[in-house]
Amino acid sequence: MNHDHEYTPSNGFTKWLDKRLPLIRFADENMLSFPTPKNLNYFWTFGFILTLCLVTQIITGIVLAMHYTPHVLMAFDSIEHIMRDVNYGWLIRYIHANGASMFFLAVFIHMFRGLYYGSYKEPREILWILGVVIFLLMIITAFMGYVLVWGQMSFWGATVITNLVATIPVVGESILTLLLGGFSVDNPTLNRFFSLHYLLPFVIFGVVILHIWALHVTGNNNPTGISVKDSNDTISFHPYYTVKDLFAYVVFLLMFSYFIFYNPNILGHPDNYIEADPMVTPAHIVPEWYLLPFYAILRAVPDKLMGVLLMFGSIVVLFFLPWLDTMKVRSARYRPTYKIFYFTFLVCCLLLGYLGGQAPEGIYLFLSRVCTIYYFAFFLVVMPILSKYERPSPMPIGISNPAINNNLEMDDNLVPSGNN
């Protein structure tokens, strides 16, 4: 990146501080004058939105933990206590519960943006992998948080998901017992889930710092996917993107507020307002909406172990994306064939989400199977083949130069000039 601006401490104190702990310099280089491609669209605001989602969850979570009791006899009642007795408890809990949904909504958009514009490609492989790590941690954290409510869906969701571990040959049962601290989901399970649900967001926070660090080494991708060449291609992060990000966040908050204030339970399941009963299984066990696509994959497979492997595989495959799609052209904007497969994939994921909430029989089961096959085929078949045979459409020379690049040496166009 071209640094056409360097931080100069302005007064005695900042000069003194800069020599000892260059905090302001760090903030200036990474947040204020950070050179950012000038053509980023609103899909690029979700990184900022996600950071604030995490902060919101941590703050509301810490407050909720002050009023919650992690014991099987009191957990459910303490949630009702928060809802009815604690001052603004209802607000804080609804922010936290719907905040999780908003967090996942934002992360899905963020990931699909990366998938469309090729943000996982060289040199951003580590950046992408850290993102997948964050996504995995988010799933684990959200799952444990949902169990804390200790409603019927909490209990039976926990039973079904922890039982996935028992499918591991030979040692599965022992690991399951170790995980639960008993022979079924019970008080020891609730206690440790509470402890881990408190811990993991801070782990996520740590990985987010690494994620942003990696981003600031390579710099942002952009809608053209063409690497930044010089300072003509960039503008400083502040004020241009601080304002754009904040505006997007305000719009995001409007939608978030609709759920908090007008429809706070629409994304949850009514059965979770029934206290957990280890002796009665609800008729339909469904996870939260953001896990439905993975649940649909699990149920699409008639074999227990294979179902579990495919469900985990659907996330693990994301780690290998940079090496499955080796096409040098990053952005789908210049990949007409990829674009078709991409949108089919998007529809397939949404459909899996719908199917995950339906009973696993008849046409639903059939469609789940078709979508599961396409899900994996997209990564394992379509991507490698397109990388080899797809002919990209004409591309401009650079972010600031719309003239068509007739030089087919694409590499030249895509290799980052960051260290020049």
Partner 1 sequence: MTDTIDKNDPTRRDFLYITTAVFGATGAATVAWPLIHQLNPDASVSALSSVEADISSIPEGGSLKVAWRGKPVFIRRRTKEEINIAEKEDAENLPHPEKDEERVKNKEWLVVVGVCTHLGCIPIADKGDFGGWFCPCHGSHYDISGRIRKGPAPTNLEVPPYEFVNENIIRIG
Under the criterion CB under 8 A, does residue 269 sit at the interface with partner 1?
no
What's the min distance (Å) between Cβ of 292 and partner 1?
A: 14
For residues 274-333, which are near partner 1 according to CB under 8 A?
278-285, 299, 301-305, 307
Residue 150 amino acid letter: W
Residue among 32, 285, 296, 294 at smallest CA distance from 156: 285
Residue 172 amino acid letter: G
- Residue number, 188 or 239, with CB nearest to partner 1: 188
- Residue number, 182 or 336, with CB nearest to partner 1: 182
What's the min distance (Å) between Cβ of 202 and partner 1?
A: 19
What's the min distance (Å) between Cβ of 192 and partner 1?
A: 7
Question: What is the rounded CA–CA span in Å between residue 327 and residue 376?
Answer: 18
- Residue number, 95 or 164, with CB nearest to partner 1: 164
What's the min distance (Å) between Cβ of 300 and partner 1?
A: 10
Q: Work out the burial of residue 261: count CB atoms within 10 Å of its CB; fewer than 13 is exposed, 13-18 middle, 19 or more buried.
A: exposed
- Residue number, 14 or 163, with CB nearest to partner 1: 163
Residues 6+ away with beta carbon under 8 Å from 189: 147, 158, 162, 179, 180, 181, 182
* In contact, 413 and 229? CB cutoff 8 Å: no
Q: Which of 65, 182, 340, 343 binds partner 1 (CB under 8 A)?
A: 182
Encoded one letter per residue, x for contact with partner 1 by CB under 8 A and - for no contact, window 142-181 reads --------------x--xx-xxx------------xxx-x
Encoded one letter per residue, x for contact with partner 1 by CB under 8 A and - for no contact, window 53-92 reads ----------------------------------------
The DSSP H or E segment spanning 396 is: strand 396-398
Question: What is the rounded CA–CA span in Å between residue 11 and residue 74?
Answer: 57
Question: What is the rounded CA–CA span in Å between residue 93 and residue 59?
Answer: 11
* In contact, 208 and 134? CB cutoff 8 Å: yes
Peptide bond into 123 cis (omega under 30): yes
* In contact, 166 and 176? CB cutoff 8 Å: yes
What are 76's two structure tokens? 């459910």
What's the min distance (Å) between Cβ of 137 and partner 1?
A: 19
- Residue number, 282 or 384, with CB nearest to partner 1: 282
What are 214's two structure tokens? 């990696």
Encoded one letter per residue, x for contact with partner 1 by CB under 8 A and - for no contact, window 355-394 reads ----xxx---------------------------------
- Residue number, 5 or 304, with CB nearest to partner 1: 304
Q: Which of 64, 102, 107, 185 binds partner 1 (CB under 8 A)?
A: 185
Site of tokens 């811990």: 199
Q: Under the rule (CB under 8 A), what is the footprint of partner 1? A: 156, 159-160, 162-164, 177-179, 181-186, 188, 192, 278-285, 299, 301-305, 307, 359-361
